[in-house]
Structure 1
């Protein structure tokens, strides 16, 4: 069976076909454009939300920074470092005790020679006990003990601190822990607490002054 088409009919069919293809393409392009628009709107909203979130976080960070600066300014007025408290308290107590010791030394000079080195050793032992008492219940590293003693004896050395700590340890007054890095950490033993609190008698070798009323 032969189908014959006139030229104008063929042109009409081609035009109809191209019109159909064009319409289909237009529909597809419209859908693509709509989806791209939706995606772009979603990206814009996400970017907006992210920007708002960053602005909020920045505001919180700035507020936190202001609070930290205010706290930093208030700390020296309202708080004292533990090391500073231990050092200052011990130095104050040691100076009070030193007054009594000087009076005793003046009294002793009239009768016999005063051994200054012995007085220094025994006084250091008492000041170390005071330092550790003020550092209770944690204890203290030898650096804190040394800086405290240097507030009383400016030429005090780490060697002296260790010698006197070892002496106090041998008398079961102080527990010593030798750290892996070589530092010494000391803490009052039960008997050491009793000596500092004047609960028990203090044997010779430690310059514990008479108890203050």
Structure 2
């Protein structure tokens, strides 16, 4: 069994096959392009989210710095350094010793035994 095709029939079959192949390539190209666009969109969304988080992080760091500076400025008014406390106690004790010494002198002058 042999097929005999006229040249126009061969041309129609070849053009149909080529058209089908080109159509399939276009469909695949559109699907690939759509997939790439979706990937770009999700990547852009992630980049925007990271950018928002970075801005929020910077704001939080600035807030912490501000609070720390306020703490440093307020600290001398709320807390006493150990050396300052010891110096204050030494002055108070010296004054008490001086008062006790004066009392002893007064008692000695009046003849009262301490």
Q: Per the shorter chain, which TM-score range? A: 0.7 to 0.9
- Provide TM-score, normalisation by structure 1: 0.44
2 CA distance for matches of 1:95 and 1:57?
Answer: 54
Alignment partner, residue 28 of structure 1: 28
Alignment partner, residue 72 of structure 2: 72
User: CA RMSD of the aligned region, Å?
Assistant: 2.4
Moved segments of 4+, more than 6 Å: none
Match status 1:92 vs 2:91: yes
Larger radius of gyration: 2
Matches within 5 A, 1:155-194: none
Q: Deviations over 1:29-62 (max 9, x none)?
A: 1111111111111111111111111111111111
1 CA distance for matches of 2:74 and 2:21?
Answer: 78
Q: Matched residue of 1:26: which SS?
A: helix
Q: How many residues were matched structurally?
A: 105
Question: Normalized per residue, which structure has more helix?
Answer: 2
TM-superposed deviation, 1:101 = 7.8
Structure 1 unaligned runs (5+)? 107-209
Higher RCO (C-alpha 8 Å, min separation 6)? 1
Structure 2 unaligned runs (5+)? 106-113
TM-superposed deviation, 1:100 = 5.5
1 CA distance for matches of 2:99 and 2:74?
Answer: 38
Alignment partner, residue 60 of structure 2: 60
Question: Normalized per residue, which structure has more strand?
Answer: 1
